[in-house]
Amino acid sequence: MKRILVVDDDATILMTLSRYLRKQGYQVYSGASGAEGLVLFQQESPDVIISDVMMPEMDGLEFCRRLRQQRGGQLIPFIFLSAKGELDDRVHGYELGADDYITKPFEPRELLAKIEAQIERSRRTQAELLRMIQQSPPPPPAKKEEVKLPLTPAEERVFREVIRGATNKQIGEALYISPRTVQTHLTSILGKLNLENRSQLIRFAFEQGFTVGDPESPASDSH
């Protein structure tokens, strides 16, 4: 099930939109501020984020800016849903890293179409990156044996699944853990390897001699 995080300080809009999206088959998480949105992003690993702009404590613009600075937050599709529809408002939203900007009031069908378009774009981006890496010349075999990763056994298992191109949901099903736990492991892996996102992790694995798609990729024995 596709996972959506909705952030809006208007309780009526939040409840109505969340209910509508659930009826369309999405799993929905909701928060009332950008600060709550950042916490929920780390906890729930959504496929798309929909956020209002004007909110207390932390507005949507700051939410988007901080999200894009986090490991794992650079590639998540982000859609602004706001009553502030002036050109300058929309441009500012895009400059901060938003992928789309919808003004209120909005047509629900259009929102659904934009959600699906962003999910599909994200899927194609990761698939194309994986294809490019698979088609690149392999690194010297000797290097493969020298690789030692500072990961725990659980992190190694998640690492192997990620470099195969599996999503957090697929990894969770394969390893019998929740997507939230997968995201926790992934965040730790990225931090230990000094990487910013999943795409960089896949490229790192290939360049270090790990065979993408090979369940017997090398792993570290030192944790």
pLDDT at position 16: 93
- Which of 65-79, 119-133, 185-199 bottoms out in mean pLDDT, i.e. has the lowest? 119-133
Check whether 186 has a pLDDT greater than 80: yes
For 29, phi and psi rounded to 5 degrees?
A: -120, 145
pLDDT tens figures, 91-104? 999 998 899 999 98
The residue count for the chain: 223
User: pLDDT-derived band of residue 137, with 50, 70 and 90 as boundaries?
Assistant: low
Domains (ranges, CATH) in the chain? 3-126 (3.40.50.2300), 138-207 (1.10.10.10)
For 134, phi and psi rounded to 5 degrees?
A: -65, -30
Alpha carbon distance 79, 121 (integer Å): 13
Arithmetic mean of pLDDT, 40-58:
92
pLDDT at position 4: 96
The dihedral over CA atoms of 176, 178, 179, 184, expressed in degrees to the nearest 10, equals: -110
pLDDT at position 147: 65
pLDDT tens figures, 117-126? 999 988 888 7
pLDDT tens figures, 138-182? 655 544 444 678 999 999 999 988 888 888 888 988 898 988 899
